[in-house]
Amino acid sequence: MKVKLWVEDGATVFFKDRGRFQSSYLNEGVPILLFSRTLTEQLLFTFYNLTFCIMINQRGNAVWDGDIKGSGNITTQSGTVSAPYSVGARFEGQKGTNPEELIGAAHAGCYTMFLTGQLTKAGAQVKQIRTESKVTLDTSGDVPKVVKIVLTTEGEVEGISQQEFQKQAENAKEHCPISQLLSAVPEMELASATLK
């Protein structure tokens, strides 16, 4: 299987996704080495200030049966999530998942991974990071709106002070991909970042 990449000068680079090194060429004939492990893994490498990257697409799906009194099912591309949802589950506490809960889980997962990466890069020894992302849905208006997200995180980390942990936690809140995606939410705060 081949993957096609475009670079800024319009040249095309090909490589096979078979876990092998092989040489490809830009328009000017400069060779580069490319390496791929899987098509679902992002590759990022630089040659003469040109950066090549495979963009990752991940999919979520939903099926709804019947009118608004009906119910549906939410699934993920990986198949690891398959959950029922309904108006009752979203607004009345009935059994099932809901979009806000899934947003909170995605945000907590992304934030925790991003924070762990920062701490590792800083030389700290991370044993465990635990994060909650609480998503508030306001139903008082004409249409429901997500108005607030509150993060709380705590970590078992060696080789770092509470002050530095707080700084890294705040940075992760601002820069993890899902935090950036959720930047339209009026209020997002890091309620606590506790180093155990």
The 10 Å Cβ neighbour count of residue 8 is 8
The 10 Å Cβ neighbour count of residue 158 is 10
Predicted TM-score (pTM) of this structure? 0.75
* pLDDT class of 169 with cuts at 50, 70, 90: very high
Which residues does residue 112 pair with via DSSP β-bridges, in sequence order? none
Whole-number pLDDT of residue 141: 92
CA–CA separation, 60 vs 34, rounded Å? 30
CA–CA separation, 158 vs 119, rounded Å? 10
Phi-psi region of 84 (alpha: psi -120 to 50; beta: other; left: phi over 0): beta
Q: Which residue matches tokens 């899902």?
A: 178
Whole-number pLDDT of residue 73: 97
- Tell me the average pLDDT across 153-165: 97
The 10 Å Cβ neighbour count of residue 193 is 22
Whole-number pLDDT of residue 31: 40
Indicate whether 147 pLDDT > 90: yes
Indicate whether 9 pLDDT > 60: no
CA–CA separation, 115 vs 167, rounded Å? 10
Amino acid code (one letter) for 82 = S
* Phi, psi dihedral angles at 24 (to 5 degrees): -125, 175
- Tell me the average pLDDT across 107-121: 96
Handedness of CA 65, 66, 68, 71 (dihedral sign): negative
- Residue 53 is encoded by which pair of tokens? 């990257």
Tens of pLDDT, residues 49-70 = 444 445 677 899 999 999 999 9
Count of residues in the chain: 196
